[in-house]
Amino acid sequence: MARRYKTKRTVWRVDGADVRRRRDLLATEEPLQIELQAGEARRTAAITMRTPGNDYDLAAGFLFAEGLIRHRHDVARMIYCVDGQASQQQYNFLSVRLRAGRLPEMAQLERYFFVNSACGVCGKTVLDDLAQRELPSLSHPKDAAPLCAPDVLHSLPDGLRAAQRIFDETGGLHAAALFDLAGNLLALREDVGRHNALDKLIGWGLLKRQLPFHDKIIMVSGRASYELLHKCRVAGAPIFCAVSAPSSLAADLADRFGVTLVGFLRDGRFNIYTHPARIGDR
């Protein structure tokens, strides 16, 4: 069944004294429950509000970013839990069966959701937790030639925007895109949640055996939060770009873990917040 990523709704458009009733399109937002199964055990890993579509990518990317799976082979199958009269709404429960005989340790998920609700109070805990992970190496030592020319970065916003198909119809979605060092778009995912968009992109990379994202650039349509930098580092991308500003914890994470962080990439200018040696004429 086709997933409904957009929803029709009646709106009243007001332009000065003129009021007109018309039909409009909104980005669909529905919950997705991700359940893990291993042997006879099962447990909910996450419930997230997302735009339907690329749900397998979303689940794989989330589980990979949180360290619950490490390879594509870890996943035996993914399947929606629906009955014989499946509706759009019933495609909101996704079961992920692992090849392992038991569920992984999931205590980090409690930390993950606590930190989100606490608005970064546990910032040091986040950084220390990431330091315990087995992370892919990042390319480019500090004394090597730059990886990416400024002109390439300047071209990325237009490349991202041109590929936002659902945004063109609804105007209400975030995007995460993967580019090579020449500025060629390799993949893009959209979602109402900025974290979901990046999880979908990383999940695409995992399922297509494209991880880690060595010598690649991740760009997002909004701001740069520490959660996004966390996912970028786990995916092995050396350069992260955002249209808007980064948070202080995002900059701390990028600095500590070797990611080049670029913000305010729009209108022919940008700021480099960490590891600037990767950007320059080669």
Let me know: does 240 contact 218? Beta carbons within 8 Å. Answer: yes
Say how far apart CA 75 and CA 83 lie, in whole Å.
23
Residues 6+ apart with CB under 8 A from 265: 153, 154, 156, 157, 219, 241, 242, 243
Catalytic residue ranges: 119
Residue whose pair of structure tokens reads 């007109």 in the numeric block: 20
Helices (H), 163-213: 165-170, 194-207
Strands 41-50 and 30-38: antiparallel
For the record, the structure tokens of 42 come out as: 């099962």
Return the structure tokens found at 51: 């735009």
Residue reference for tokens 């315990």: 132
The CA–CA distances, whole Å, from 139 to 6, 195, 199, 236, 259 equal 39, 24, 22, 9, 10
* Beta strand 41-50 pairing with 239-242: unpaired
Residue 62 CA neighbour count, 13 Å, CB half: 28
Query: Judging by DSSP bridges, how do beta strands 216-220 and 239-242 pair with one another?
Result: parallel
With H, G, I as helix, E, B as strand and everything else as coil, classify residue 90: helix
Which segments of 81-199 are extended strands (E)? 93-98, 174-180, 185-191
Chain mean position to CA 61 = 8
